[in-house]
Structure 1
């Protein structure tokens, strides 16, 4: 899929990525973040969503999940005070991860072969070093997944792998929000079956033969499912059905 993160949920080329196992609740997301934290040898993680998109001077970072510990409020205030505005500006211009030095480790961002894949921030008065992976999934799904420590294990392959996982985490949170607001009119078994086969790459004629239906009926089911999912086309409907857990 390349290293572009913008608009990951759009287009047929990204359907396969969306087939990764989706979380059914926020309790499923937390272990994923802990595993990523261990891979990076970090101390803490925090997931931030950008609220107030499209409103001048109203955007801010809201912490969705974290494991700061007892000093959580202090850590968050330091991070937002030092880099909050930089985070908001950066995500509009680039999807490169951000890395910064804390006062405890002045050499944290000075080594490694990953400099083309990161943006190094100027040093601020914060007690911890860190890396923040920006994720852009549309107005409601933009934000960062950050990992904090005095030392984090980084390398080109690790950066790319962890960035992909951060996108999955943000997609999980977005899907859970969508699931809570899904309309009362749910998909029928036939609509789900047609969407599943369409998501597998089958055309209407093949779906009709597989399900013993006419092509007209298959197209009608796909059309009604697209409307129920508030999507503009079949591809978007498939992507949303995957995110909501109707199909895989």
Structure 2
């Protein structure tokens, strides 16, 4: 059985070399290992870091910034955004209090999360989860969501993780805003290669279509991926679509 108190001591804030290790990150890829570290501390199986905005009385859908790839591809994109997402987006707009919920099933596994976290109703949830809302100022809010069959943590660990998620989201938002400036520098050839890649074409196919070498195509895609502050080609394509660079 996992000794959660020992895990908490090993991964406490004292061992993160202060907040500078988080605030000095240059890209989301720099912060990804830190979120994985929080995931391991919680004994979770997946995570999503997302942001949202509120306009008047309307609540905008959650926008995933980074996530654990094995979950983001299927369960999170379909489950979080369609069912869990609206409830979490509504909660984070109203309160910074951590929340948790149980899977809508008869399984015995439950989450043991201390106050100030609140148990909320999550109809049709396909997995247990705990979420840490963050108010970033203005209308911008964010949330860190972790999924697991069971979680048992102390109140001190809960507060420590909430503190870190605030720093993570604040840094990610800064990176996201700064990266939009770099989008302007993406040239036409890089945009073309991204569009073709987004259409499902391989580098060989794109090279043949544009009359370029495969090496040159890969160089354009790599450059575009870097400018979009993405960890891989798939993430770059998704971000380019969100920003309206490609369709």
Structure 1 counterpart SS, 2:97: coil
Paired with 2:41 and 2:140, the residues of 1 have a C-alpha distance of 24
Other-structure match for 2:73:
72
Q: 1:123 to 1:92 in 2, by over 3 A?
A: closer
CA displacement at 1:30 relative to structure 2: 0.3
* Native 8 Å contact 1:105 1:150 kept in 2: no
Paired with 2:27 and 2:96, the residues of 1 have a C-alpha distance of 27
Structure 1 counterpart SS, 2:166: helix
Alignment of 1:78-227 (within 5 A): 78-102=79-103, 103=105, 105-109=107-111, 111=112, 114=114, 116-139=115-138, 141-180=140-179
* Native 8 Å contact 1:140 1:174 kept in 2: no
Structure 1: where are the runs of 5+ without partners?
1-16, 184-248
Q: 1:108 to 1:137 in 2, by over 3 A?
A: same
Q: Is 2:32 the counterpart of 1:62?
A: no
Structure with greater helix percent: 2
Paired with 2:81 and 2:179, the residues of 1 have a C-alpha distance of 29
Structure 2 counterpart SS, 1:99: strand
CA displacement at 1:20 relative to structure 2: 5.4
Please say which structure displays the higher CA radius of gyration. 1
* Native 8 Å contact 2:83 2:125 kept in 1: yes
* Native 8 Å contact 1:98 1:120 kept in 2: yes
Q: 1:105 to 1:36 in 2, by over 3 A?
A: farther
One of 31, 34, 38 as aligned partner of 2:33: 31
Paired with 1:32 and 1:152, the residues of 2 have a C-alpha distance of 19
Paired with 1:131 and 1:70, the residues of 2 have a C-alpha distance of 15
CA displacement at 1:181 relative to structure 2: 5.8
Give me the TM-score of the superposition, normalised by structure 2.
0.58
* Native 8 Å contact 2:28 2:172 kept in 1: yes
Q: 1:106 to 1:40 in 2, by over 3 A?
A: same
Structure 2 counterpart SS, 1:24: coil
Structure 2: where are the runs of 5+ without partners?
1-17, 183-247
